[in-house]
Amino acid sequence: MASGTELTSNSYLQHHLQNLVLGKLPEGYERAGGHIVEHSSWTFAHSPQEALDMGFWSLNVDTMGWSIFLGMIFCFFFYRVAKKVESGAPSGFANLIEMTVEFVNKNVNDIMTVKNPLIGPLALTIFIWITLMNTMDIVPVDLLPLIAQFVTGNEHLYFKVVPTTDPNITFGLSLGVFILIIYYSIKMKGVGGFIGELAFQPFGKYMIPFNLILEGIGLLAKPVSLALRLFGNLYAGELIFLLIATLIGSALPYFIGTIFGGALQFVWAVFHILIILLQAFVFMMLTIVYLAMAHEHH
């Protein structure tokens, strides 16, 4: 019984942590259940192994869909408030948005020594968009997947609803920041100045190989640290929600387990709100700091 419960729990965890993947399977591929693909075609993966075999050009449909949808919500509400802005003190939702904008602008002005009109909107977009994506983590773990399964009629449908638990999203965001770091480093210092900063710091011109290794690692560590910090914290938070659901459900009778598990989920959700906001704030602040460093001469 214990092994069967463990298998069920593992299957539950694997199902909730697997993305809805669209990719291309080659002709003759044997799918889960023994079905053979007659012609090479694009389809949804029916198992984690199929998602892996689809390769690099597969697409996590749920991650992409939710991130775009939440980005559109951000643009819609901020556009509505900006369009209706009036002189005088704002109220309600407009007041919240104005406070958020002022908060982001204050951090940008405190850190940036060179004025750049792009950094403020970029920091605001990063903070709000990541906050919205992180907030999906406090939606009950089974609610949206069950709705998706009901709508599609596929009870085995994979449906992951927290975009920032997918490293494709976090690395995509961090690579975008990294490109801006390189762009502004070259724009402000020139190609020679940028290369010289990597080659001659911190030990001078006689230690160029060591300088390149140290500075190169430091430069590449910026996008990696941005992506992994955000991904690791949100993935761990999602995993704890799932573990609470599986452990309580398997250890207690259904009625008692539902009440006790729901209470634990609520407590963790309240605490997790801090993580949601903190990780969005940290990503925004590090982006501002890195871009401020790119604007400065060594």
* Catalytic annotation, residues: 225, 229, 233
| CA dist., res. 56 & res. 171, Å (int) | 15
Residue environment code for 82-115, b if the CB has 16+ CB neighbours within 10 A, otherwise e: eeeeeeeebeeebeebeeebeebeebbeeebeee
34: Cα within 13 Å, side-chain hemisphere: 0
The 3-state secondary structure of 120-146, one letter per residue: HHHHHHHHHHHHHHHHHHHCCCCHHHH
Question: What are the Cα distances from residue 298, in Å, to 25, 63, 221, 273, 293?
Answer: 51, 39, 19, 38, 9
